[in-house]
Chains A and B, each alone.
Chain A
Amino acid sequence: MNCYEAIDLMGDAIESRVPSDSRAGFQEHLDECPACCTYFEQLRTTVSALARLPRRGDPVVLTQNLRDAYRRRSR
Protein backbone atom coordinates (compact mmCIF):
# COMPACT_ATOMS: atom_id res chain seq x y z
CA MET A 1 0.00 0.00 0.00
CA ASN A 2 1.27 3.51 -0.76
CA CYS A 3 0.78 6.78 1.10
CA TYR A 4 -2.19 7.80 -1.04
CA GLU A 5 -4.18 4.70 -0.23
CA ALA A 6 -3.15 4.73 3.41
CA ILE A 7 -4.18 8.36 3.88
CA ASP A 8 -7.60 7.69 2.41
CA LEU A 9 -8.08 4.91 4.98
CA MET A 10 -7.00 6.91 8.03
CA GLY A 11 -10.51 8.11 8.86
CA ASP A 12 -11.77 4.53 8.90
CA ALA A 13 -8.71 3.39 10.81
CA ILE A 14 -9.41 5.80 13.67
CA GLU A 15 -12.74 4.05 14.12
CA SER A 16 -11.18 0.61 13.52
CA ARG A 17 -13.32 0.26 10.41
CA VAL A 18 -10.68 -0.44 7.76
CA PRO A 19 -12.09 -3.09 5.38
CA SER A 20 -10.60 -6.46 6.31
CA ASP A 21 -8.85 -6.92 2.96
CA SER A 22 -6.94 -3.64 3.45
CA ARG A 23 -6.11 -3.99 7.14
CA ALA A 24 -2.76 -5.81 6.80
CA GLY A 25 -1.62 -3.52 3.98
CA PHE A 26 -2.51 -0.42 5.97
CA GLN A 27 -0.60 -1.61 9.03
CA GLU A 28 2.41 -2.58 6.91
CA HIS A 29 2.45 0.85 5.37
CA LEU A 30 2.41 2.55 8.78
CA ASP A 31 5.24 0.28 9.90
CA GLU A 32 7.44 1.31 7.00
CA CYS A 33 6.41 4.97 6.49
CA PRO A 34 7.40 7.22 9.42
CA ALA A 35 5.50 10.22 7.98
CA CYS A 36 2.17 8.41 7.69
CA CYS A 37 2.76 6.64 11.00
CA THR A 38 3.41 9.88 12.89
CA TYR A 39 0.58 11.68 11.14
CA PHE A 40 -1.88 8.91 11.90
CA GLU A 41 -0.88 8.77 15.58
CA GLN A 42 -1.31 12.53 15.88
CA LEU A 43 -4.65 12.43 14.10
CA ARG A 44 -5.85 9.73 16.45
CA THR A 45 -4.69 11.69 19.48
CA THR A 46 -6.47 14.79 18.14
CA VAL A 47 -9.75 12.92 17.70
CA SER A 48 -9.51 11.42 21.20
CA ALA A 49 -8.82 14.87 22.62
CA LEU A 50 -11.97 16.22 20.94
CA ALA A 51 -14.12 13.85 22.95
CA ARG A 52 -12.59 15.37 26.09
CA LEU A 53 -13.27 19.03 25.34
CA PRO A 54 -14.92 20.63 28.34
CA ARG A 55 -18.41 22.01 27.88
CA ARG A 56 -18.56 25.74 27.67
CA GLY A 57 -20.84 28.25 29.29
CA ASP A 58 -23.15 27.96 32.23
CA PRO A 59 -24.88 24.71 32.84
CA VAL A 60 -28.16 24.77 30.98
CA VAL A 61 -31.26 24.89 33.07
CA LEU A 62 -34.81 24.56 31.94
CA THR A 63 -36.20 28.06 31.42
CA GLN A 64 -39.66 28.90 32.69
CA ASN A 65 -40.70 29.58 29.13
CA LEU A 66 -39.81 26.05 28.01
CA ARG A 67 -41.26 24.50 31.15
CA ASP A 68 -44.56 26.22 30.45
CA ALA A 69 -44.53 25.16 26.82
CA TYR A 70 -43.87 21.57 27.86
CA ARG A 71 -46.67 21.67 30.48
CA ARG A 72 -49.20 23.07 28.04
CA ARG A 73 -48.33 20.43 25.50
CA SER A 74 -48.52 17.56 27.94
CA ARG A 75 -51.91 18.40 29.27
Chain B
Amino acid sequence: MSDIEAPFLAKLKDGDEAAFAGLVTDLGPGLLDFARTFTSSPALAEDIVQETWLAVIRGLHGFEGRASLKTWIFSILVRRARTIAARDARLHARAAARASEVEWEPGQGRRGLWEETPVPWSVVDPEAIYQSQEALQVLQAAVDGLPEMQRQVVLLRDVEGLSAGDVCNILVLSETNVRVILHRGRAKLRQALDRYMRDGATSEGAAPSESVGRVAARGIR
Protein backbone atom coordinates (compact mmCIF):
# COMPACT_ATOMS: atom_id res chain seq x y z
CA MET B 1 0.00 0.00 0.00
CA SER B 2 1.22 3.50 -0.77
CA ASP B 3 2.03 5.99 1.97
CA ILE B 4 -0.80 8.17 0.72
CA GLU B 5 -3.31 5.40 1.12
CA ALA B 6 -2.54 4.32 4.68
CA PRO B 7 -4.04 7.39 6.42
CA PHE B 8 -7.05 7.19 4.12
CA LEU B 9 -7.61 3.55 5.02
CA ALA B 10 -7.34 4.44 8.69
CA LYS B 11 -10.10 7.02 8.24
CA LEU B 12 -12.29 4.50 6.45
CA LYS B 13 -11.86 1.98 9.24
CA ASP B 14 -12.57 4.75 11.72
CA GLY B 15 -16.03 5.38 10.30
CA ASP B 16 -15.21 8.63 8.50
CA GLU B 17 -18.27 9.07 6.30
CA ALA B 18 -16.71 11.75 4.13
CA ALA B 19 -13.84 9.39 3.33
CA PHE B 20 -16.26 6.61 2.47
CA ALA B 21 -18.38 8.92 0.31
CA GLY B 22 -15.21 10.03 -1.47
CA LEU B 23 -14.26 6.45 -2.17
CA VAL B 24 -17.70 5.68 -3.59
CA THR B 25 -17.56 8.77 -5.79
CA ASP B 26 -14.06 7.98 -7.04
CA LEU B 27 -14.49 4.31 -7.82
CA GLY B 28 -18.24 4.12 -8.46
CA PRO B 29 -18.32 4.94 -12.18
CA GLY B 30 -15.40 2.62 -12.96
CA LEU B 31 -16.95 -0.20 -10.95
CA LEU B 32 -20.27 0.19 -12.74
CA ASP B 33 -18.60 0.17 -16.15
CA PHE B 34 -16.69 -2.90 -15.13
CA ALA B 35 -19.77 -4.64 -13.70
CA ARG B 36 -21.49 -4.15 -17.05
CA THR B 37 -18.96 -6.48 -18.67
CA PHE B 38 -20.40 -9.37 -16.67
CA THR B 39 -24.03 -8.93 -17.63
CA SER B 40 -26.24 -7.51 -20.32
CA SER B 41 -28.70 -6.27 -17.69
CA PRO B 42 -28.11 -2.70 -16.44
CA ALA B 43 -30.09 -3.44 -13.26
CA LEU B 44 -27.99 -6.50 -12.52
CA ALA B 45 -24.81 -4.47 -13.04
CA GLU B 46 -26.03 -1.99 -10.43
CA ASP B 47 -26.83 -4.85 -8.05
CA ILE B 48 -23.32 -6.18 -8.50
CA VAL B 49 -21.84 -2.79 -7.58
CA GLN B 50 -24.17 -2.41 -4.60
CA GLU B 51 -23.25 -5.88 -3.31
CA THR B 52 -19.60 -5.07 -3.83
CA TRP B 53 -19.85 -1.99 -1.61
CA LEU B 54 -21.67 -3.95 1.07
CA ALA B 55 -18.90 -6.56 0.97
CA VAL B 56 -16.31 -3.78 1.15
CA ILE B 57 -18.00 -2.40 4.26
CA ARG B 58 -18.06 -5.85 5.83
CA GLY B 59 -14.45 -6.57 4.94
CA LEU B 60 -12.93 -3.18 5.67
CA HIS B 61 -11.75 -4.01 9.17
CA GLY B 62 -10.05 -7.18 8.04
CA PHE B 63 -8.37 -5.50 5.07
CA GLU B 64 -4.68 -5.12 5.76
CA GLY B 65 -3.71 -3.18 2.70
CA ARG B 66 -1.43 -5.73 1.10
CA ALA B 67 -3.01 -4.75 -2.21
CA SER B 68 -4.20 -1.24 -3.01
CA LEU B 69 -7.77 -0.42 -1.97
CA LYS B 70 -8.74 -0.15 -5.61
CA THR B 71 -7.36 -3.59 -6.49
CA TRP B 72 -9.03 -5.11 -3.45
CA ILE B 73 -12.41 -3.60 -4.30
CA PHE B 74 -12.24 -4.63 -7.97
CA SER B 75 -11.33 -8.17 -6.83
CA ILE B 76 -14.42 -8.26 -4.65
CA LEU B 77 -16.51 -7.11 -7.58
CA VAL B 78 -15.17 -9.92 -9.76
CA ARG B 79 -16.10 -12.54 -7.16
CA ARG B 80 -19.60 -11.08 -6.68
CA ALA B 81 -20.13 -10.65 -10.39
CA ARG B 82 -19.07 -14.16 -11.28
CA THR B 83 -21.51 -15.58 -8.76
CA ILE B 84 -24.38 -13.33 -9.74
CA ALA B 85 -23.82 -13.33 -13.48
CA ALA B 86 -23.49 -17.09 -13.67
CA ARG B 87 -27.24 -17.10 -13.25
CA ASP B 88 -27.67 -14.73 -16.14
CA ALA B 89 -28.16 -17.01 -19.12
CA ARG B 90 -27.86 -14.16 -21.60
CA LEU B 91 -24.21 -13.88 -20.75
CA HIS B 92 -23.46 -17.36 -22.03
CA ALA B 93 -25.45 -16.86 -25.20
CA ARG B 94 -23.43 -13.71 -25.88
CA ALA B 95 -20.05 -15.32 -25.29
CA ALA B 96 -20.86 -18.29 -27.51
CA ALA B 97 -21.94 -16.09 -30.41
CA ARG B 98 -18.46 -14.61 -30.70
CA ALA B 99 -16.32 -17.71 -30.75
CA SER B 100 -15.59 -17.71 -34.50
CA GLU B 101 -13.46 -14.55 -34.76
CA VAL B 102 -9.77 -14.87 -35.73
CA GLU B 103 -7.80 -13.90 -32.65
CA TRP B 104 -4.17 -12.89 -32.44
CA GLU B 105 -1.74 -15.43 -30.98
CA PRO B 106 1.82 -14.74 -29.83
CA GLY B 107 4.27 -15.82 -32.51
CA GLN B 108 1.66 -15.61 -35.26
CA GLY B 109 2.64 -12.13 -36.42
CA ARG B 110 -0.04 -9.84 -37.80
CA ARG B 111 -2.69 -12.58 -38.10
CA GLY B 112 -5.70 -11.25 -36.23
CA LEU B 113 -4.19 -7.76 -36.07
CA TRP B 114 -4.35 -6.38 -39.59
CA GLU B 115 -5.36 -7.63 -43.03
CA GLU B 116 -4.27 -4.69 -45.16
CA THR B 117 -1.01 -2.90 -44.51
CA PRO B 118 -1.74 -0.15 -41.96
CA VAL B 119 -1.89 3.31 -43.51
CA PRO B 120 -0.88 6.28 -41.34
CA TRP B 121 -3.81 8.34 -40.10
CA SER B 122 -4.18 11.78 -41.59
CA VAL B 123 -3.80 13.54 -38.24
CA VAL B 124 -0.21 14.22 -37.32
CA ASP B 125 -0.81 15.04 -33.68
CA PRO B 126 -2.65 12.30 -31.72
CA GLU B 127 -3.90 15.06 -29.43
CA ALA B 128 -6.48 15.82 -32.13
CA ILE B 129 -7.93 12.35 -31.54
CA TYR B 130 -7.90 12.72 -27.77
CA GLN B 131 -9.75 16.02 -28.09
CA SER B 132 -12.38 14.66 -30.47
CA GLN B 133 -15.65 13.73 -28.73
CA GLU B 134 -16.55 11.76 -31.79
CA ALA B 135 -13.38 9.69 -31.91
CA LEU B 136 -13.75 8.90 -28.21
CA GLN B 137 -17.36 7.87 -28.81
CA VAL B 138 -16.22 5.48 -31.53
CA LEU B 139 -13.65 4.08 -29.16
CA GLN B 140 -16.18 3.70 -26.34
CA ALA B 141 -18.56 1.83 -28.66
CA ALA B 142 -15.71 -0.45 -29.67
CA VAL B 143 -14.87 -1.15 -26.02
CA ASP B 144 -18.51 -2.02 -25.35
CA GLY B 145 -18.45 -4.40 -28.31
CA LEU B 146 -15.36 -6.36 -27.21
CA PRO B 147 -15.70 -9.97 -26.07
CA GLU B 148 -16.17 -10.10 -22.31
CA MET B 149 -12.65 -10.99 -21.17
CA GLN B 150 -10.99 -8.51 -23.50
CA ARG B 151 -13.33 -5.78 -22.35
CA GLN B 152 -12.55 -6.57 -18.73
CA VAL B 153 -8.80 -6.54 -19.21
CA VAL B 154 -8.87 -3.36 -21.32
CA LEU B 155 -11.08 -1.56 -18.79
CA LEU B 156 -8.87 -2.44 -15.83
CA ARG B 157 -5.53 -1.94 -17.56
CA ASP B 158 -6.06 0.93 -19.99
CA VAL B 159 -9.13 2.78 -18.71
CA GLU B 160 -8.65 2.34 -14.95
CA GLY B 161 -4.88 2.34 -15.31
CA LEU B 162 -4.22 -0.57 -12.96
CA SER B 163 -0.87 -2.39 -13.18
CA ALA B 164 -0.55 -5.68 -15.08
CA GLY B 165 0.04 -7.48 -11.78
CA ASP B 166 -3.12 -6.02 -10.24
CA VAL B 167 -5.16 -7.02 -13.28
CA CYS B 168 -3.89 -10.62 -12.96
CA ASN B 169 -4.90 -10.68 -9.31
CA ILE B 170 -8.31 -9.12 -9.85
CA LEU B 171 -9.33 -11.46 -12.66
CA VAL B 172 -7.38 -14.46 -11.33
CA LEU B 173 -5.53 -14.88 -14.62
CA SER B 174 -1.88 -15.60 -15.42
CA GLU B 175 0.34 -12.80 -16.65
CA THR B 176 0.71 -14.47 -20.06
CA ASN B 177 -3.04 -14.75 -20.38
CA VAL B 178 -3.57 -11.10 -19.53
CA ARG B 179 -0.93 -10.02 -22.06
CA VAL B 180 -2.54 -11.99 -24.86
CA ILE B 181 -6.08 -10.92 -24.02
CA LEU B 182 -4.99 -7.29 -23.74
CA HIS B 183 -3.23 -7.37 -27.10
CA ARG B 184 -6.32 -8.87 -28.73
CA GLY B 185 -8.61 -6.28 -27.26
CA ARG B 186 -6.31 -3.37 -28.11
CA ALA B 187 -5.98 -4.68 -31.66
CA LYS B 188 -9.76 -4.53 -32.14
CA LEU B 189 -9.93 -1.03 -30.70
CA ARG B 190 -7.14 0.14 -32.98
CA GLN B 191 -9.07 -1.34 -35.87
CA ALA B 192 -12.23 0.54 -34.88
CA LEU B 193 -10.34 3.83 -34.66
CA ASP B 194 -8.59 3.05 -37.93
CA ARG B 195 -11.92 2.51 -39.69
CA TYR B 196 -13.21 5.77 -38.27
CA MET B 197 -10.07 7.74 -39.16
CA ARG B 198 -10.03 6.41 -42.71
CA ASP B 199 -13.72 7.02 -43.29
CA GLY B 200 -13.08 10.60 -42.32
CA ALA B 201 -10.10 10.78 -44.65
CA THR B 202 -11.88 9.40 -47.72
CA SER B 203 -15.10 11.38 -47.45
CA GLU B 204 -13.47 14.73 -47.00
CA GLY B 205 -15.73 17.47 -45.74
CA ALA B 206 -18.43 15.05 -44.64
CA ALA B 207 -20.33 16.18 -41.58
CA PRO B 208 -18.58 14.62 -38.58
CA SER B 209 -21.88 13.62 -37.00
CA GLU B 210 -22.55 11.38 -39.99
CA SER B 211 -19.95 8.81 -39.03
CA VAL B 212 -21.14 8.71 -35.44
CA GLY B 213 -24.65 8.22 -36.81
CA ARG B 214 -23.42 5.20 -38.68
CA VAL B 215 -21.94 3.76 -35.54
CA ALA B 216 -25.20 4.26 -33.69
CA ALA B 217 -27.14 2.79 -36.60
CA ARG B 218 -25.10 -0.38 -36.40
CA GLY B 219 -26.43 -0.68 -32.88
CA ILE B 220 -23.07 -1.09 -31.21
CA ARG B 221 -23.99 1.12 -28.30
Give the contacting residue for B158; candidates A10, A51, A70; CB below 8 A. Answer: A51
Q: A74 at the A/B interface (Cβ < 8 Å)?
A: yes
Complex-state Cα separation, A38 to B117, whole angstroms: 9
> Is chain B's binding surface mostly helix, strand, loop or mixed?
helix
Q: Is the CB of B113 within 8 A of A60?
A: no
Q: Which residues of B contact A42 (CB under 8 A)?
A: 118, 121, 190, 193-194
> Is chain A's binding surface mostly helix, strand, loop or mixed?
helix
Count the A residues whose beta carbon is within 8 Å of the partner chain — how many? 41
Bitwise, A35-75 to B at CB < 8 A (1) or not (0) is: 10011011101111111111111011111011101110111
A55 to chain B, nearest CB (A): 4
Q: Is the CB of A8 within 8 A of B194?
A: no
Q: Is the CB of B110 within 8 A of A7?
A: yes
Give residues of chain B (165-199) contacting chain A, Cβ–Cβ below 8 Å: 179, 182-183, 186-187, 189-190, 193-194
Give the contacting residue for A46; candidates B113, B161, B164, B193; CB below 8 A. Answer: B193
Chain A residues with a Cβ under 8 A of chain B: 3-4, 7-8, 10-11, 15, 34-35, 38-39, 41-43, 45-57, 59-63, 65-67, 69-71, 73-75
